[in-house]
């Protein structure tokens, strides 16, 4: 994957398939939607974005592509433990991998957006 442009914010949100489809259709019609990474439920968002993964994301935000070893150094953890978190974030579409193998979180800021409602 290639690095996205800088000076941008990604929104992590909880969205149904219909919401994602509506956003995609609006984008195809020319309405700017901004960058989004959507999760099917709040539980899936928190399962994916553990405390250690948030620390990793914070260390990578706005920093450009880096090796896994550099990411581990920035969070003060060993490469092996960071490796698992990096792959979970790659699988979730939160991180990208450059052609040279480096990893990147191609955003300068993160906004988290979901609504908690009363249980049914």
Just give the CATH number of 9-113.
Answer: 1.10.10.10
Measure the CA–CA gap between 11 and 80, rounded to whole angstroms: 28
In terms of Cα–Cα distance, which of 12, 97, 103, 11 is closest to 63?
103
Give residues with Cβ within 8 angstroms of 47, minimum separation 6: none
Helix (H, G, I), strand (E, B) or coil at 11: strand
Q: Has residue 86 got a pLDDT over 70?
A: yes
**Lowest-pLDDT range, 29-43, 46-60, 70-84?**
29-43
- Say what the pTM is: 0.74
- 20: phi then psi, degrees, rounded to nearest 5: -65, -40
Residue pointed to by tokens 């290639």: 2
* Pairing mode, strands 35-39 and 9-14: parallel
Q: What H or E segment, with its residue span, contains residue 40? A: none
- How many residues in total does the chain contain? 120
Mean of the per-residue pLDDT values for the chain?
84
C-beta separation of 118 from 61 below 8 A: no
């Amino acid at each position: 994957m290639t690095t996205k442009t800088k000076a941008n914010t990604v929104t992590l949100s909880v969205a149904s398939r219909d919401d994602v489809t509506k956003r995609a259709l609006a984008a195809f019609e020319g309405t700017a939607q901004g960058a989004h990474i959507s999760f099917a439920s709040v539980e899936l968002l928190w399962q994916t974005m553990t405390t250690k993964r948030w620390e990793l994301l914070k260390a990578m935000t706005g920093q450009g592509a880096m090796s896994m070893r550099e990411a581990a150094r920035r969070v003060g953890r060993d490469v092996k433990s960071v490796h698992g978190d990096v792959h979970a974030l790659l699988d979730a579409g939160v991180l990208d991998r450059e052609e040279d193998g480096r990893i990147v979180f191609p955003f300068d800021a993160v906004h988290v957006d979901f609504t908690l409602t009363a249980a049914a």
